[in-house]
Amino acid sequence: MDQNAQVIRDYFEARNRNDESDEIFIARDFIRKSPPELHGLDGYRSWKTALRRMWADEVWNILDMISSGDQVWVWLTNESTHVGEWNGLPPAKARVRFETVNIFTVRNGKITELWRIADDWSRVKQLGGQVAWPSA
């Protein structure tokens, strides 16, 4: 496993432990390109704090990882308990599982950029929300 892939593996192991040492993994000039767009280590910390108000007992499982140059692509599952309002859905206290692909840029041993593609619709459905396609 190359060095950048190991950084990402260590990052998710820390997330699973609820480790608060974000500065070990996240660069000061970090940017999250997917909604909500975030900037800097403080932006990342605020986002993580908000997530923990909505989702508890997170467990990340890496299904596959591809590393090339400074990019690391990771296919993951996440299981967590819905404990706070999310996308207009009140806390259900339900355990939810979804898949995501995260694309990280790692430079000098730190995560500088994140793109995220997640199956949030499956989370909505697991929580009893409605997913409707627009009519033609």
* Structural domain count of the chain: 1
pTM score, whole prediction: 0.91
CATH number at residue 8: 3.10.450.50
Q: What is the pLDDT of residue 136?
A: 66
Answer yes or no: is 136 within a domain: no
Closest to 118 measured CA to CA, from 100, 96, 102: 100
**pLDDT one-digit tens code per residue, 62-102:** 999 999 999 999 999 999 999 999 988 999 999 999 999 99
Answer yes or no: is 133 within a domain: no
| Strand 26-32 relative to strand 55-68, pairing | unpaired
**pLDDT one-digit tens code per residue, 29-50:** 999 999 889 999 999 999 999 9
Answer yes or no: is 129 within a domain: no
pLDDT at 131 over 90: no
pLDDT at 119 over 70: yes
Answer yes or no: is 90 within a domain: yes
Eight-state DSSP code of residue 51: H
Q: Which domain holds residue 35?
A: 3-119
Answer yes or no: is 135 within a domain: no
Answer yes or no: is 124 within a domain: no
Q: What is the pLDDT of residue 21?
A: 82
